[in-house]
Amino acid sequence: MEDELTALERINIVLEGGIPDRVPSLCLGSDFKFIDLFMKSSYALTEEDLEYFSNADLSPRFLHTQQLLAKFSPKSIYPNGLDAKIDLCWEIVDGVQLRKGESQDTFITPNGQVFKFIINDDGIPSYWYTGPSLDSKEKIINFWEHSDNLKVDKNRFRVLAKNRKKMKKFDIVVAQGIGGPFENGLLGIGYLNFAKLARKEPEIIKKHIDFLWENYQKKNLRFLLKTRPDLVMIGNDIGHNDGLQLPLKHWQKFFKPILKKYVEMVHDAGVKFIVHCCGAIEELFPDFVEIGVDGVDSLQPTINDLEMYRKKFPEITLLGTIDDTDLLVNATPEEVRRDMREKIKNLGKKGGYIPGPTNWLLDQKPENIVALFQAIREFGVYD
């Protein structure tokens, strides 16, 4: 099966509201656990793959393991590929390096999030957010005094153009991005602090979020755009399983104005803007339309009314939507194929749809992932 368009043409047509040759596919990338499962499966990289990918200078980058993404290629692109084409993946960058936490087994992001690398007793690594470091008003105010800690290093963006070029050989588009305003603003100070201050001293929250935008996010975004990305996708998980992680009015007051600035900067550079946003986020869709977001990713199907989104918000391309916590973990490949066929019929008939697992691959069955991407090619053809 030969494609008529390149992945980038196909994706841009969809994001512009048109109908391309077929439905494009999305795989954000893979976490450690999925790499382990994949390499223990019958699809594991062979010596021949490693030689080919080494010559193509692919990197096994965390969450952006280029060898795995390329292995899914159609035979016309890579003869030993799995014929299960991925069109779009995601790479996140931060212009400021991590630093050691107060406790020496933790790492702190520039905006104050505490993370831990943990090697589990099965020997498989994991990397988790464990809480905020700016957990008092005094620490937040002190943070503003040290804007020199947020000096964005343009060298950290050099890799982006190189990675796009490498993946282009496999006709895979790399959406590139930074952390969004919600994650940057809230996770560094914590939910408790945010809830308290947003009600009693909202000017502190406003100042903090504006401070981060001016001193950190805007500079990151500027350097990212200088690399001339094909697409920008930012990470901004605002939802949980039952709704938003904060009252809608707080989202609209504190974070929406900053997200609007992201969208404007990216659109001014002539690039489409996608937001990755986990959870049940129906309440946010009117705001996404208003500020001009081109696509929304994740959209867990068990907690979002996808058909309603499709009908009510046709301006927005829906990305993700394939259940990665039950279907892709527990179902059979045939059940995955059936789900994909139904989803394309219900959500993708008129374009506006880029399906894929709703998050980084973690504990899904490799055979289900292969079945998913093969099904998108099979059932996604437009007449």
Crossing angle (nearest 10°) for helices 137-144 and 202-212:
40
Give the Cβ contact number of residue 75 at 10 Å. Answer: 11
Contact 129, 237 (CB under 8 A): no
**Concatenated DSSP letters of 201-235:** -HHHHHHHHHHHIIIIIHHHHHHHHHT--SEEEEE
Nearer to other proteins, 68 or 84 (CB): 68
Q: Which is nearer to other proteins, 158 or 199 (CB)?
A: 158
Specify the residue, 118 or 192, whose C-beta has the smaller distance to other proteins.
118
State the minimum distance, in angstroms, from the CB of residue 98 to other proteins. 5
Provide the residue type at 306 as one letter. L
Which residues are within 8 A (CB) of 49 and not within 5 positions of it... i.e. 6 or more apart? 67, 71, 80
CB nearer to other proteins: pick between 61 and 345: 61
Alpha-carbon distance 254 to 260, whole Å? 11
What is the closest distance, in whole angstroms, from the C-beta atom of residue 122 to other proteins in the complex?
Answer: 8
Least separation, in Å, of the C-beta of 39 and other proteins?
A: 5
Residue 108: phi and psi, rounded to 5, are -120, 135
Kindly indicate which of the ranges 10-18, 116-124, 248-256, 276-284 contains the residues binding other proteins, using the contact rule CB under 8 A: 116-124
Considering only residues 8-37, where is the footprint of other proteins by CB under 8 A? 32, 35-36
Q: Which stretch binds other proteins (CB under 8 A): 12-20, 118-126, 213-221, 283-291?
A: 118-126
Out of 75, 76, 118, 345, the only residue in the binding site for other proteins (CB under 8 A) is 118
Q: What is the C-alpha to C-alpha distance for residues 34 and 351, in angstroms, rounded to an integer? A: 30
Residue 78 structure tokens: 């890579």
Gyration radius from the chain CA atoms: 20
Rounded to whole angstroms, how far apart are CA atoms 170 and 286? 36
Asked whether the beta carbons of 377 and 84 are under 8 A apart, the reply is yes
Min dist. Cβ of residue 81 to other proteins (A) = 16
- Within residues 120-179, the interface with other proteins by CB under 8 A covers 120-125, 127, 153, 155-156
Q: Check if the beta carbon of residue 116 is closer than 8 Å to that of residue 105.
A: yes
How far is the C-alpha of 370 from the C-alpha of 81, rounded, in Å? 11
* Residue closer to other proteins (CB basis): 51 or 264: 51
- Measured from the CB atom, the residue of 116 and 206 that comes closer to other proteins is 116
Taking the least distance from each CB to other proteins, the nearer of 96 and 303 is 96
| Min separation Cβ 92 and other proteins, Å | 12
Instruction: Write each residue from 33 to 62 as x if it is in contact with other proteins (CB under 8 A), else as -, in one continuous string.
Output: --xx--x-----x-x--x---x----xxxx
Strands 353-357 and 107-108: unpaired
Q: Please tell me the count of residues contacting other proteins according to CB under 8 A.
A: 37
Among 16, 75, 79, 119, binds other proteins (CB under 8 A): 119
- Binding other proteins (rule: CB under 8 A), the pick from 18, 117, 147, 226 is 117
Binding positions for other proteins, 225-244, rule CB under 8 A: none
**Cβ–Cβ < 8 Å for 360, 29:** yes
Nearer to other proteins, 56 or 124 (CB): 124
CB within 8 Å of 197: residues ≥ 6 apart: 137, 189, 204, 205
Nearer CB in complex with other proteins: 49/230: 49
Query: Site residues for other proteins, window 84-113 (CB under 8 A)?
Result: 97-100, 104-107
Q: Which residues contact other proteins (rule: CB under 8 A)?
A: 32, 35-36, 39, 45, 47, 50, 54, 59-62, 65, 67-68, 97-100, 104-107, 116-125, 127, 153, 155-156
